[in-house]
Copies of this chain bind each other. A is one copy, B any other.
């Protein structure tokens, strides 16, 4: 197993955004030799898409992804329309930023509902509805299967198998973001990464699963501090032809969000080399 390409390191701004605004994050990436960034729509909204594109360009940064389209957990025709329209806007923004993909977080159960098959059907319906616009704009959509502990409230798409089924059903323009935190436990992981193949594999997100984990959302670990065999997953991805960014995305209220972001980025760099 060869080591990771150091030039592939990318940063999801959530990793440092408790302390850094987008401009600081972009400059921080440049300072630490990080070549790409994934940013969030609220950050783009704050600065404007054109100014954001200039900022990233000035710092030599590619856009690994825009977070995010969805959710599609609507409860009526009006919220359905709003969800679809909002994702269409996100596609436009991703196009303007020349993002490698728009990451989709599809949502869980609708409020008050226990109908999980219905929620999954709704996701398929929403994807079918936005995919044409994404194709027209040249923006690949990256379905991100979320850990099953988020099935109720964040994403009812929990496995790579489901994501591949949706890609099979809906065709070109729809791909997958593989976040090791969400999928590391899946016994079908290797088979489903192979099934996805080069064309669909749009993103690789990195963090680690801590033992114990003290919060369902905000307690992700730095690569190397947990139990995920990240090199194995990266190698599976590369064996399928993946050549994209290795994007660090750490939600960590008790640790990494409290630290000096320059320290965090230096450690990301080191752990990318030694643990990924």
Contact = CB atoms under 8 A, between A and B. Distances in A.
Interface residues on chain A, size class: 20 to 34
B185 A148 contact: yes
Given A148-B147, A213-B216, A227-B109, A116 B184 contact: yes
**What copy number does this chain have within its complex?**
2
A185 B212 contact: no
A120 B187 contact: yes
A162 B187 contact: yes
A229 B115 contact: yes
A197 interface: no
A226 B187 CA distance: 27
A244 interface: no
7 contacts: A120-B187, A148-B148, A152-B185, A153-B212, A159-B187, A161-B188, A212-B216
6 nearest A-B pairs in the assembled complex, by CB-CB distance? A151-B185, A114-B229, A148-B185, A149-B149, A152-B227, A152-B211
